[in-house]
Structure 1
């Protein structure tokens, strides 16, 4: 049975824009051909117009050259604008493929500064197309033609140009071989400075409250000094080669002129041929110099292309959609620290039917947060499974993950944006009254409404506008907004415990009664809200606590055929 051939997304993107690329190549060929109008004008002026003293011919030739240069101007502008759009469409096509993945593991890789792998490479390739590097390459393809015409005019001038090009190439090779280490140092110093900027943005409160300002300033100055010194060292080194290459190119032109003058004195070529060969030699040298300067960018573009090809060719994990009401099963679950390989969770087994309320009690360092983040699919597992129904939790798509899991972490953070954007998770707000209802259930609506901008108030990542308890209430509203099937609470604070006595207790009773599952991980047992399952977590080992006492706040029996829970039901 034959397998269907997998389409390379990069080749597909180029194939879809082959017309634009072909048109740009044709325009570049025509542009290069029109470049020959200059040398032809010089030959005719010196060898025909001046000896004949024909003013009419001179005016006609000048008019034709003016029209030609005008056409060249339009062609050059058009092909550069076309290449810019080519780069933009290439980026759009590749990014559409990248963002077509629904697997949660495809996004927000640790350490990455963009939402998905491959976006940096795509940006840099678009910049390569937009920068005119391809135009430089296409222009350089005419250099052998111009050099061949120089050899036809006079071989001596041609060999002068060839020797000069070899010298320029050697200078460029020496620069590329010796600047790598300096570029690495400069890049590392720059990244260290960016890291300090990011630390100030994220940890400004810590720096101020812990009196780190003086030490941070010294570290900032030291980082700036290293960045400046590394940049100056790199610039000094590369400037030497760049300046040398530019003056060598200038010397080549003068030597070519001298060789042409020598041949003219000997009577081998005319003055017009000498001037034309000088013009052609200058174009060959200048284009070669620009082409050699683009070689590092071309090599970088080649590496980006190869990296992007590997990223896009990687197999994608298939996603699955869980049933509206499903059981939660932990089977032989083991998690190890990626850095130390120490076992954090050891052979955890548990099964929770729809409608269950699970309370997991453990001290500091027992593994509660590790277990919580494993349940939401964020923590890599060494072995075992976390199943929602018959679906592995890691196979939830980015869309199902948002509507299946509600998570209140121990450390409450926010995304830089408005309160509304944080509560709805950047999703479109369908009905404002729903947002208000959720905030009322969490007990934070009145506090938000008292702000001058209400739900449009800007939040920094720390939520500095609110107290610690209010931040937990916001996190609760955020977790409840999408009517999740599983609600996970890591270390509930006092506001959560107090809310259980009021509307939140009723809401959770409705939630579990409709088949939802709530998991609470806490140091102190919940006294006001008894659970259907109680466990103790110690050193990564989960043990069930058997109890015959009836729950204080009765939870309805699980409804196996119930509809998807609605947490905003009054």
Structure 2
């Protein structure tokens, strides 16, 4: 039922997203090349440990290093370009909806018997979505499809290494899900409480002169502080839980990379893999899990954008687009009066009686009394 009530607004938001489709395809293309070039580090270490150290060839080392530097330079350029494109996607999305949301906010605010939460947050929620579109968290969504490919690459080195990487990746996904489950409610409550405190502050500020004149400053502060304290309590709870999972994911990822080195060293001792494979597997694992780690660390941004999407969907659904107005001819600026009679307030006789005149654009006329006082 809720989905039906916000479907029209969602369609407007999706339409604005679809207008950036060509830019999204470009980001996807750049992400493909960036993730392919991410293999430079593991392959470089693999060649250094297995070829250069074994052959003791300085020429090979120099050639590999020059190639590695060139590939990493290309990766940096593509990653920078991808970030610029995402920033412009966010800016275009906001520019497309600025007028629509602004007018919806004004119209919604003028309606009676309405909850003003959407009104005060409409433009802020649009800004929250823009920030997500331009953030590394959104870029990591384009990197996520390559995580299984990197995990498969580790499994090619050795099945045990692949199993460890798969188990570790699954554990990080579970951490992400628990993060979503445990932080969604406090974040939503914190946003509502913050909105309520902002509403109270705005109302008191607009009526500040009257509040001070009536000596109600302290009572006004207590009212605002009550809402603010509730917002801070919910916000601290949300940050605590989000920080817990962020620290947990970071610690587990570091442990997992060390465990990958340990397992690789054991396999080297058993003669099943080379030292280069041991180092390359650890680097590849870090790259595979980086998008998940980024999403966990920036989950507050994701939550704010999701809440903003829901709020804007409800606002745009409830406040439809204004129908086009009838185009009227441009006023000529001429003034014609026929049989004009004016009786001043409280007077018994007319000051002007049956007056006729025409004023062309640019002309002025004054009415003066018998004494010239007007």
Band the TM-score falls in, shorter-chain normalisation: 0.7 to 0.9
CA contact (8 A) 2:34 2:75 kept: yes
Call closer, same or farther: CA 1:109–1:120 in 2, change over 3 Å: farther
**Superimposed CA distance per residue, residues 50-81 of structure 1 (whole angstroms, 9 cap, x where no aligned partner):** 01111121122112111222222222112111
CA contact (8 A) 1:515 1:563 kept: no
Question: C-alpha separation between the residues in 2 aligned to 1:515 and 1:49?
Answer: 106
Question: C-alpha separation between the residues in 1 aligned to 2:21 and 2:255?
Answer: 41
- Other structure's SS at 1:528 match: coil
CA contact (8 A) 2:38 2:287 kept: no
Deviation at 1:271, TM superposition (A): 0.7
Match of 1:135?
139
Match of 1:528?
346
Match of 1:336?
none
**Superimposed CA distance per residue, residues 222-262 of structure 1 (whole angstroms, 9 cap, x where no aligned partner):** 44444433333332232222222221222211222222122
Match of 2:65?
62
**Superimposed CA distance per residue, residues 25-52 of structure 1 (whole angstroms, 9 cap, x where no aligned partner):** 2221111111111111011000000011
Match of 1:33?
36
- TM-score, with length taken from structure 1: 0.52
Match of 1:83?
86
Call closer, same or farther: CA 1:248–1:569 in 2, change over 3 Å: farther
Match of 1:151?
155
Question: C-alpha separation between the residues in 2 aligned to 1:18 and 1:196?
Answer: 40
Larger helix percent: 2
Match of 1:241?
245
- State the structure with more CA Rg: 1
1:319 is aligned to 2:325: yes
Matches within 5 A, 1:134-533: 134-293=138-297, 301=305, 311=316, 314=320, 316-320=322-326, 513=337, 527-528=345-346
Deviation at 1:529, TM superposition (A): 6.5
Name which structure has the greater RCO, CA cutoff 8 Å, separation 6+.
2
Matches within 5 A, 1:42-61: 42-61=45-64
CA contact (8 A) 2:242 2:299 kept: no
CA contact (8 A) 2:40 2:68 kept: yes
Question: C-alpha separation between the residues in 1 aligned to 2:105 and 2:204?
Answer: 29
Question: C-alpha separation between the residues in 2 aligned to 1:213 and 1:564?
Answer: 55
CA contact (8 A) 1:13 1:94 kept: yes
Larger strand percent: 1
Deviation at 1:141, TM superposition (A): 2.1
**Superimposed CA distance per residue, residues 479-504 of structure 1 (whole angstroms, 9 cap, x where no aligned partner):** xxxx9xxxxxxxxxxxxxxxxxxxxx
**RMSD value, Cα:** 4.2
- Other structure's SS at 1:320 match: coil
Question: C-alpha separation between the residues in 2 aligned to 1:285 and 1:108?
Answer: 46
- TM-score, with length taken from structure 2: 0.76
Deviation at 1:569, TM superposition (A): 5.7
Deviation at 1:10, TM superposition (A): 5.2
Deviation at 1:279, TM superposition (A): 0.7
**Superimposed CA distance per residue, residues 190-243 of structure 1 (whole angstroms, 9 cap, x where no aligned partner):** 234323432342122112111112333444544444443333333223222222
**Superimposed CA distance per residue, residues 405-454 of structure 1 (whole angstroms, 9 cap, x where no aligned partner):** xxxxxxxxxxxxxxxxxxxxxxxxxxxxxxxxxxxxxxxxxxxxxxxxxx
Which shifted more, 209-218 or 271-280? 209-218
Question: C-alpha separation between the residues in 2 aligned to 1:116 and 1:188?
Answer: 11
Specify every segment of 5 or more residues in structure 1 that has no aligned partner in the other structure, as ranges: 1-7, 325-402, 404-482, 484-509, 517-525, 531-550
